[in-house]
Structure 1
Amino acid sequence: MTTFLKKLGIFLAGLALLASALQLAADRGLAKSALCREWEDLFSSRINADLLIQGSSRAWVQFSPKVLDRALGLNSYNLGVDGHNFLMQYYRFRLYEKYNQKPRYLIQNIDMLTLEKRKDLYALEQFLPYLDRPLVHEAVSHYQGFEPIDFLVPAAKYRHSKTAAIFGLKECLFPTPSTKYKGFEAQDKEWDDAFLRYYASHPGGVRVQVDPATRVLFDVFLSRCAARGIKVILVYAPEYIEAQGFIVNRAEVLAIFREFSRRYRIPLLDYSHSFISYDTRYFYNSQHLNARGVDQFNTLLARDLAPLVR
């Protein structure tokens, strides 16, 4: 029995060692990949922006650091995180604070989904290399995705995405360069009315579910920025006009942001009724601008930001 247990122990130890080695290689590969480029810039203290841009995919694909840097004479960086509401955006901001110098200005993109709270951990693959970092651990714990075993057992976290494990191992040897520029990537696409078809299937409209805890957190965020001397500028990027009417409590949600703007005496630039919002040539769906729309929007944005960042 003793011999059996000894052999079993050696086998399990060897298995754990192999799993740890594979996890390390996969983690390093993912961290090198385009998937985690912005996280790596953040953790490696390579950002240190004068102007930080935050939001969801509506930040990531719509705010061009290249245009803003050139027009404003600042060093900007786009930290937009695809598919996530403000809760994850806030954790990313806190991680930015920990590893990078304080920005002078912060653009917070706002929209109808900013104050909602999704249940699932969208695109969880991007978090896999960083689960040992306390703030990342805390952030992902707010979502359905990872479980305690994923933080304790070597390589267990990759059971959620075997594809990510294989991709990470490949990227460890043959990394693929990122196509983003300072976190931003324009989408060279034409109009697709999928969003409108979705809304059309809900003839009574769609009601935004503002999450009370996220609303409080947004307040905490603005207070934190004010205390640290970070000038926040709220921006509502263009949104296709016909989609706006499907949100039955749109005015109510906008009123929340206007109240934050008033209370903290911060600008709110609303482009939801700009000329861009009336023309599908500038969008690839009702929520996201294509490359043509990005050029138009950032020209307007740079003009309006100029007197605010002096």
Structure 2
Amino acid sequence: MIHFKSQIIKLIIRIIIFLAVLASLDFICGGILEKLYFNQKTGLFYRTTYGLEKTNAEVLIFGSSSANHHYSPVVLEKQLNLTVYNEGRDGMDILYHTAILKGILKRYTPKVIILNIAPNELTTSNGYDRFSILLPYLRKYPEMIDVLRLKSKYEKIKCISKTYSYNSMLLTIITGMIPNKEKSFIDKGFVPLFDTLNTAKTKISTLVNDPKLDTNRVSFLNQFIKISKEKGIRLYVVFSPYYFSDINTTSSIEVVNSICKQYKTPIMNYIQDSSFTKREEYFVDGGHLNINGATLLSTKLSAIINKDLLDCKLEVLTPNK
């Protein structure tokens, strides 16, 4: 009996030592990954961190790949006489943008936000797994748990592990530490595309309606617009041009229109704008503009915003206390 108890005690001690070593390794490795992550000089993660923690631009641009590739800060700054940063990120939607906006507003309040929304952005087809990219910011921005909880109700518990926040990110982190040619193309978050659509070689898919709305995404869009309104930010909601589309609205767009009407938020719908429709020289594919198309869209949009801002007489930008 005594021998059995002795064996149990030894086993418990070994387990405790193993867990202690595991926790130490997690803390050390997680700390290294954290330092590498927040010291990147280029790439996706760097641009997100810069937008969250460094920019004081008077105009911020939010949205997925269309935002990232369609809005040129150089053009907008020249027309609006305001500083601009493009916070767009490929593959992200209103859930991500709302989390990022809340983080930014802890530090300062921009004058203007341009929110590019995809025609089917509020649907259920996108899932929630992609939002794990917010994990590195959770300790500093605990409000992001509202989005991460949609991925898993245990997400906050998992984040006790420091390395968990950086799962599958190591290669991208290392790439972001190395200066590369991408850096010379990026202009204040804007990533221009330089190819030109060739309809003879590329099959063009027209826009279709996805009617399966996601109540979480609808709720977060409402939050985004409401927060902007409460903070005195002038918000513009934009639907980008398509090379060709049989329809000008979707179930998502109808919801966006309804919410924007409630908050008296301006909407610009360029989906079937004749300046872009079937103009190959402005596109890289059916739904993404190249640098020429982005310049034209930024010019057209800035003219509308400039006129509106003159009427609004926005006050001077001030950091949040």
Aligned position for 1:262? 261
Aligned position for 2:66? 58
Alpha-carbon distance in structure 2 between the residues aligned to 1:182 and 1:97: 19
Which residue of the other structure, out of 26, 30, 42, is the alignment partner of 2:33? 26
Alpha-carbon distance in structure 2 between the residues aligned to 1:190 and 1:144: 41
Identical amino acids, percent of aligned pairs:
22
- Note the residue ranges of structure 2 that are not aligned, 5 or more in a row: 1-6, 311-321
Letter aligned with residue 304 of structure 2: D
Which residue of the other structure, out of 32, 35, 40, is the alignment partner of 2:49? 40
Which residue of the other structure, out of 79, 83, 97, is the alignment partner of 1:75? 83
1:294-309 map, 5 Å: 294-309=294-309
Alpha-carbon distance in structure 2 between the residues aligned to 1:43 and 1:181: 17
Aligned position for 1:120? 128
Alpha-carbon distance in structure 2 between the residues aligned to 1:209 and 1:122: 19
1:1-310 map, 5 Å: 1=7, 2-3=9-10, 5-33=12-40, 34-44=43-53, 46-99=54-107, 101-117=108-124, 118-122=126-130, 124=132, 126-132=133-139, 133-143=141-151, 147=155, 150-158=158-166, 160-161=167-168, 164-168=169-173, 170=174, 174-176=177-179, 179=183, 180-191=186-197, 196=203, 206-241=209-244, 244-245=245-246, 250-274=249-273, 275-310=275-310
Given that 1:58 and 1:288 are in contact with CA atoms closer than 8 Å, whether structure 2 keeps it comes out as yes
**Equivalent position SS for 1:207:** coil
Deviation, 1:77, is 1.4
Alpha-carbon distance in structure 2 between the residues aligned to 1:66 and 1:188: 16
Deviation, 1:268, is 1.7
Alpha-carbon distance in structure 1 between the residues aligned to 2:162 and 2:216: 33
CA shift in 2, pair 1:258/1:9, >3 Å: closer
CA shift in 2, pair 1:198/1:289, >3 Å: closer
Alpha-carbon distance in structure 2 between the residues aligned to 1:210 and 1:65: 32
Deviation, 1:269, is 1.9
Aligned position for 2:3? none
TM value normalised by structure 2? 0.79
Alpha-carbon distance in structure 1 between the residues aligned to 2:119 and 2:257: 13
Deviation, 1:90, is 1.2
Deviation, 1:135, is 2.2
Q: Which is higher, the Rg of structure 1 or of structure 2?
A: 2
1:11-64 CA distance string (max 9 Å, x none):
4323321222111111221223323123322442x2222112111111111111
Alpha-carbon distance in structure 1 between the residues aligned to 2:120 and 2:285: 16
Given that 1:30 and 1:167 are in contact with CA atoms closer than 8 Å, whether structure 2 keeps it comes out as no
TM value normalised by structure 1? 0.81
Alpha-carbon distance in structure 1 between the residues aligned to 2:255 and 2:11: 66
**Equivalent position SS for 2:268:** strand
Given that 1:121 and 1:145 are in contact with CA atoms closer than 8 Å, whether structure 2 keeps it comes out as no
Alpha-carbon distance in structure 1 between the residues aligned to 2:302 and 2:228: 22
- Note the residue ranges of structure 1 that are not aligned, 5 or more in a row: none
Deviation, 1:144, is 5.8
Q: Let me know the Cα RMSD of the aligned residues.
A: 3.1
CA shift in 2, pair 1:149/1:121, >3 Å: same
Given that 1:51 and 1:74 are in contact with CA atoms closer than 8 Å, whether structure 2 keeps it comes out as yes
Provide the aligned length of Structure 1 versus Structure 2: 294
